[in-house]
Amino acid sequence: MPELPETETIARDLDAAIRGARVVSVDVARADVLRETDAKALPRAVTGAVITGVARRAKSIVMDLGASGRLVCTPRFTGALLLDGTPDPRYTCLTFDLEDGRRLRYHDVRRLGTVAHLNATGYAQWDGSLGPEPLDPALTAARFAAILRGSTRAVKTLLMDQRRLAGVGNIYANEALWHARIRPVTRGARLSHAAAHRLLHALQLVLRDSIALRGTTFRDFRDAYGGRGGYAARLAAYGRGGLPCLRCGATLRATHALEGRQTVWCPVCQR
């Protein structure tokens, strides 16, 4: 599932490419991906709108249409916003024709992702339901420590709770905890302030490095031009269960016992 680095990559690509473009028509081929609108209402609402910017919030790409509201795309497992190219029409759910002749398509093989059309009130409610962004300068070490230390849940679970911290999923939670030398099942309330500060630094480092390499692609993630992310070669924990720890050489352990998600850690380094 695309996380912060992957959706940030898409948002930056699209902002540079289509900011200022006008939507001249919308084709809805698969209405089941729509939220807060329907196949008839969406074209009426956004045709003629100018895209004033594209940004990311949490794991979603937000297309600002000015007075026409915002489109919030959450790709989930196989969704992608693709600019031009020739994606398989069987999986093209939405097509936005732009005035300059280009096409932006929402493509989703499994159709588990969503595209919501939100007015100002709806967007404010959605935005307010999410936690702070991990790369926001306003997220201080003290605030981050309070988020984690205020719960008895496992720290990995807390990192992935979008109400507490926006944008982090399973891949980067595993990676940040490995870099910070913290065991994933450690209870948030048991983290020292120093450990929480170390974890924030590790998380921000991992996220920035992944953004620089345009995210992580195992199979499905594609950027706005259909390209693959390059961070998979840098992964130190996620997907490496049974392999040697890159830091100490011990065999990494893996389990799905923590909320059914793959958790990988080093029994020696992470305590």
Output the six-digit token pair for 13: 């690509």
Residue of 2, 5, 134, 184 marked active site: 2
Residues 154, 134: Cα–Cα separation, whole Å: 18
Question: Do the beta carbons of residue 6 and residue 229 sit within 8 Å?
Answer: yes
Residue of 12, 57, 59, 156 marked active site: 59
Output the six-digit token pair for 225: 């031009």
Active site residue 3: yes
Active site residue 2: yes
Q: What is the largest CA-CA distance in the chain?
A: 59
Residues 151, 15: Cα–Cα separation, whole Å: 37
Output the six-digit token pair for 259: 């909320």
Residues 240, 245: Cα–Cα separation, whole Å: 8
Ranges of H-type helices in 70-185: 120-128, 141-149, 155-160, 170-180
Q: Name the phi and psi angles at 180, rounded to 5.
A: -85, -5
Residues 31, 52: Cα–Cα separation, whole Å: 25
Residue of 35, 181, 247, 261 marked active site: 261
Question: Do the beta carbons of residue 241 and residue 174 sit within 8 Å?
Answer: no
Residue of 3, 8, 133, 175 marked active site: 3
Q: Show which residues are catalytic.
A: 2-3, 59, 261
